[in-house]
Amino acid sequence: MPLERMRLKMKQKSTKIIIVLIAIILIAGIVMTFTKGLKFNLNYANSKKIEINIGKEFEEKDIKEITNEVFEKQPVLIQAIEVYKDAVSITTTDITEEQKNNLITKINEKYDKEISADDVTIEENANIRGRDIIKPYIIPSAITTVIVLAYLAIRYYKINSLKVTAKSFITIVVAQLLLLSIIAITRMPIGLWTMPTVLAIFIISIYMITTKFDKDLEEKTKEDN
């Protein structure tokens, strides 16, 4: 009995520590979101882009060396385009006419081309709001969550369906809020990887929930027997 009580106290202490840590991360995430906002990938933030048809295959590292010289400390996104990947799209926070001319000059020197600066235009990418990114996922996510909660309530009805549903919902929500808080605190840019990560956290949280309820159901079955 004393050993069981000691284990119970240690478990309760660990639970309290975890709850405090979660609360600190959530509060810090809320503060960062309201003070600095979320950071977006160049594809989603206010940026400028130019597309240059080089006419031959190129190495991204070579283009990266050129953009480092032209744009210096500006963040740059380089993407190969066209079917044969012989054209490049370069996106950064800002592109001046001087930078554009300098960039084309260096590319002409590197690849022995005669690309005219007049044939290359600077395009502006408007900022995409976070709500616009998650909007297509709201309804499918809500439907999936309802189905999962209903399944868990039925599967673990012996424990208490209402309790199972409430705990599951809270766990799923807290897991997603923790992810957003970590993104806000670390200033990780929101991009193409964000929604797959959200989905992965959703799956992990469901796995943790079912593992916990399986143990509770096993204990409950033993008690009933």
What are the start-end ranges of the E strands in 30-152? 47-53, 76-81, 87-92, 123-125
Compute the distance between CA of residue 223 and CA of residue 225 in angstroms, rounded to an integer.
Answer: 5
Q: Is the pLDDT of residue 1 over 60?
A: no
Instruction: Please give the structure tokens belonging to residue 205.
Output: 């949280």
Q: Is 90 within 8 Å of 49 (Cβ atoms)? A: yes
List the structure tokens of 75: 């963040």
* pLDDT digits 0-9 by tens, 160-216: 889 999 999 999 999 999 999 999 999 888 877 888 899 999 999 999 999 999 888
Q: Quote the Cα angle for 42-44-47, to 5°.
A: 50
CA pair distance 88, 107, nearest whole angstrom: 11
> How many Cβ atoms are within 10 Å of 14's Cβ, its own excluded?
10
- For residue 130, CA distances in Å to 19, 65, 136, 137, 166 come to 28, 32, 11, 12, 28
Judged by average pLDDT, the poorest of 14-23, 107-116, 122-131, 142-151 is 122-131
Phi, psi angle pair for 45, to nearest 5°: -95, 170
Q: How do residues 106-121 score in pLDDT, each as one tens digit? A: 999 888 888 888 888 8
Is 25 a residue whose pLDDT tops 80?
Answer: yes
96-106 burial, b if ≥16 CB within 10 A, otherwise e? eeebbebbbeb
Q: Show the tokens assigned to 222.
A: 């033993």
Range from 11-20, 119-128, 135-144 that averages highest in pLDDT = 135-144
